[in-house]
Amino acid sequence: MLGRLNHVGVATASIERSAECYRMLFGDAAVGEPFDLPAQGVRVCFVDAPNTQIELIEPLGADSPIHGFLAKNPAGGQHHLCYEVPDIHAAKSWFEGKGMRVLGEPRIGAHGTPIFFVHPKDMGGVLTEIMESPRGEH
């Protein structure tokens, strides 16, 4: 049902500071330019590991959903896992058919394709993002 692990979402109070660490770990070229996703209340930055990506996530705005996570985890930490699927609507029906809670309607995510989240309580405590694979890939 699920495809490749597109990325691991890692929350941070400062993308700038985290990016410095990831440049050291994976090289300058691996760390992309940060950009804002105002609709989701986050600023993000993708880091290329050889077989997947790390998505650094910083709160954007007072209502950012990341504030609560950072209040509990001031040093930052793993926030979610994102898996690819070929068809976001088929995936939504599949999860709902299994009785798992899909959080809201599919919307455009950080990679420009539709995404939704599945409730962590239905995924062994792991907040899980489901993302339609970019066209032409996979």
Instruction: Point out which residues bind a copy of itself (CB under 8 A).
Output: 1-5, 8, 10-12, 17-18, 21, 24-27, 49-52, 73-78, 81, 83, 98, 120-121, 123-126
- Distance, in Å, from the CA atom of 35 to the CA atom of 102, rounded to the nearest integer, reads 26
Place of tokens 């990341």: 66
Residue whose CB is less far from a copy of itself, 16 or 38: 16
10-32 b/e with 16+ CB inside 10 Å = b? Answer: bbbbebeebbeebeeeeeeebbe
Q: Find the shortest distance in angstroms from Cβ 44 to a copy of itself.
A: 14
Q: Find the shortest distance in angstroms from Cβ 46 to a copy of itself.
A: 14
Q: Find the shortest distance in angstroms from Cβ 21 to a copy of itself.
A: 6
Which one of the listed residues 55, 58, 84, 129 is annotated catalytic?
A: 129
- Distance, in Å, from the CA atom of 60 to the CA atom of 90, rounded to the nearest integer, reads 31
- Distance, in Å, from the CA atom of 118 to the CA atom of 31, rounded to the nearest integer, reads 27
Q: Is 129 a catalytic residue?
A: yes
Contact between 83 and 99 under an 8 Å Cβ cutoff? The reply is no
Residue whose CB is less far from a copy of itself, 39 or 121: 121
Q: Find the shortest distance in angstroms from Cβ 86 to a copy of itself.
A: 12
Q: Which helix (H) or strand (E) holds 11?
A: strand 5-11
Which active-site residues does the annotation give? 129
